[in-house]
Chain A
Amino acid sequence: KAGVTQTPRYLIKTRGQQVTLSCSPISGHRSVSWYQQTPGQGLQFLFEYFSETQRNKGNFPGRFSGRQFSNSRSEMNVSTLELGDSALYLCASSLTMGSTTNEKLFFGSGTQLSVL
């Protein structure tokens, strides 16, 4: 069974541009969540989607948005990029939203975004 797939692995953008990152969850998983990882702020929760609906949102500005498609694949978009948006963006998937015993959250390898 394929794991969580994130594309692209690396991305270089300039300030003011926008970017779209993609996440394909494990087959059958319906929940997808996104995290930003930086050396200064560590790992911070961005948002979580389940059945195409945003269920939770972290404390990020409106420039950060996401969506989930009917096949559970998810995208996140960052508009008007700032230097501080340079980070590793991690996606994770789970079968449901934790309603089953021993459910696990599986992470992808991330997309490294550099904003110049």
Chain B
Amino acid sequence: AQTVTQSQPEMSVQEAETVTLSCTYDTSENNYYLFWYKQPPSRQMILVIRQEAYKQQNATENRFSVNFQKAAKSFSLKISDSQLGDTAMYFCAFMKQSNAGGTSYGKLTFGQGTILTVHP
């Protein structure tokens, strides 16, 4: 079974500054995906960024980037130029790829979440 650990229950950052959220995971799988999701007060989960384990290059999406260390099983999220709208709960999530080469895209294992507050 997979586990995902987010060791920072809460973080805060000043507007326009950079913040990094930590995530570690444990798995015996070699092929998998990692995600960061954002859950604002509206409660809707929004995909922030996705990383395929077989790719060495770290994923980036505008102000969001990851530091993926496969050997260390670490997957941190860096938010640059933080904005007030980034205030939300952030979840790290793991999804394994099936042996048949397909993917069960709905079965995610989530971490406990990090509440991020961006201050003006």
- A joins B in a complex: yes
Residues of A that sit less than 8 Å from B by CB: 31-33, 35, 42-45, 48, 55-56, 58, 88, 90, 92, 94, 96-99, 103-110, 112
How many angstroms from the CA of A90 to the CA of B44 in the assembled complex? 8
Chain B residue numbers with a CB within 8 Å of A103 are 103, 105
B16 CB within 8 Å of chain A = no
Asked if B106 and A33 sit within 8 Å, CB to CB, the answer is yes
For B106, give its contact among A42, A97, A108, A112 (CB under 8 Å).
Answer: A97
Asked if A107 and B103 sit within 8 Å, CB to CB, the answer is no
Asked if A108 and B44 sit within 8 Å, CB to CB, the answer is yes
Q: Chain B interface mostly helix, strand, loop or mixed?
A: loop
B62 CB within 8 Å of chain A = no
Residues of B that sit less than 8 Å from A by CB: 37, 42-47, 50, 91, 95, 97, 102-113
Closest Cβ–Cβ distance, residue A2 to chain B (whole Å):
13
Q: State whether A97 and B103 are in contact (beta carbons under 8 Å apart), knowing that A42-B112, A45-B109, A105-B108 are contacts in the complex.
A: yes
Chain A residue numbers with a CB within 8 Å of B42 are 109
User: Lowest 6 A-B CB distances belong to which pairs?
Assistant: A33-B106, A98-B103, A98-B105, A107-B45, A48-B106, A43-B110
Chain B residue numbers with a CB within 8 Å of A106 are 47
Query: Which residue of chain B is the closest to A101 with respect to CB atoms?
Result: B52
Asked if A98 and B47 sit within 8 Å, CB to CB, the answer is no
How many angstroms from the CA of A107 to the CA of B43 in the assembled complex? 10
Closest Cβ–Cβ distance, residue A11 to chain B (whole Å):
14
Most A-side CB within 10 Å, residue of B50, B91, B105, B111: B105
Asked if A45 and B107 sit within 8 Å, CB to CB, the answer is yes
Chain B residue numbers with a CB within 8 Å of A98 are 95, 97, 102-105
Asked if A97 and B43 sit within 8 Å, CB to CB, the answer is no
Asked if A31 and B110 sit within 8 Å, CB to CB, the answer is no
Closest Cβ–Cβ distance, residue B29 to chain A (whole Å):
14
Q: A42-B111, A107-B45, A109-B42 are in contact. List 17 more A-B contacts (CB 8 A).
A: A33-B106, A35-B108, A42-B110, A42-B113, A45-B106, A55-B106, A97-B104, A98-B97, A98-B104, A103-B105, A105-B105, A105-B106, A105-B108, A106-B47, A109-B44, A110-B43, A110-B44
